[in-house]
């Protein structure tokens, strides 16, 4: 399977599959509780995904966790919007969902359809690629794939121009794994590289990988060679080794 980020968008294309990460639907509820009023973005996010489906005509779509945002409780907004969200998408394509650390009780509100598949945080293998969220160790099946794709970190970079203005931009991160460290936990490791996806939701914050050097969220920290990781802007610009 060939992995190709779609130019200018935080979407991964793999032949007849599109991959999205960290939707955080319903995060407006948390913002409202902090005194910030933002209209629901669920329909906007749904429109972007449907537009991409119509443009690229995939057979299926993978969501790499943190579909919903609020924990430990689920908001009324999430209960109302998420079933409709996946109902519309599952009319168009097969849906594969990996649960993230924000996805407690997600099973209750996902449509019960034959083409909607739900996996726990350990992830799953699909067409030779291991997909998982990143807050939990991936399964033996995932770690046996040559390439892993994960989310959870919301990678960004902070860049300062000549006038001192700071821009925060989402990035993709490619990083080699340290196989000997993984073999301390797994009997067999085929994975050689990880691709860390940027968050799809524009409202999501991010971890600035060029500021918090060496920081990585999840149990695979210490099992990834961050000094050899490379970051890429959504337009494909290679920022090099910036961890």
**Helix, coil or strand: residue 229:** coil
Tokens of 2: 């060939």
pLDDT at 19: 98
Domain ranges of the chain: 10-240
pTM of the model as a whole:
0.93
What class has domain 10-240? Answer: alpha beta
pLDDT at 204: 86
Nearest to 86 by CA among 105, 113, 59, 104: 113
- Exposed e or buried b for every residue in 53-87, given b needs 16+ CB within 10 A? beeeebebbbbbbbbbbbeeebbebbeebbeebbe
User: What is the DSSP secondary-structure string of 199-225?
Assistant: PS-TT---EETTTSTT---STTTTSB-
Contact 7, 235 (CB under 8 A): yes
The rounded average pLDDT for each run of 10 residues, N- to C-terminus, in the chain (243 residues) is: 91 94 86 71 96 97 93 86 96 97 91 96 95 97 97 94 88 97 96 97 88 87 94 96 83
pLDDT at 32: 59
- Give the position of tokens 């960004």: 156
pLDDT at 30: 66
């Amino acid at each position: 399977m060939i992995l190709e980020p779609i130019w200018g968008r935080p979407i991964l294309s793999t032949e007849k599959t599109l991959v999205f990460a960290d939707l955080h639907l319903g995060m407006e509820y948390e913002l409202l509780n902090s005194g910030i009023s933002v209209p629901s973005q669920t329909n906007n996010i749904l429109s972007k995904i449907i537009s991409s489906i119509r443009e690229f005509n995939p057979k299926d779509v993978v969501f790499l966790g943190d579909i919903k945002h609020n924990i430990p409780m689920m908001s009324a907004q999430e209960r109302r919007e998420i079933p409709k969200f996946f109902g519309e998408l599952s009319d168009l394509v097969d849906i594969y969902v990996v649960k993230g650390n924000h996805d407690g009780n997600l099973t209750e509100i996902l449509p019960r359809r034959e083409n909607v598949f739900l996996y726990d945080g350990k992830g799953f293998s699909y067409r030779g690629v291991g997909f998982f969220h990143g807050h939990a160790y991936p399964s033996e099946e995932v770690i046996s794939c040559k390439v892993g794709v994960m989310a959870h970190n919301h990678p960004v970079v902070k860049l300062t121009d000549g006038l001192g203005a700071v821009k925060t931009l989402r990035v993709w991160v490619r990083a080699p794994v340290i196989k000997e460290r993984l073999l301390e936990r797994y009997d067999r490791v085929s994975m050689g590289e990880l691709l860390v996806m940027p968050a799809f939701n524009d409202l999501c914050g991010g971890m600035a990988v060029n500021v918090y050097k060496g920081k990585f969220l999840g149990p695979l920290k210490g099992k990834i060679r961050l000094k050899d990781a490379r970051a890429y802007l959504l337009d494909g610009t290679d920022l090099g080794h910036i961890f």
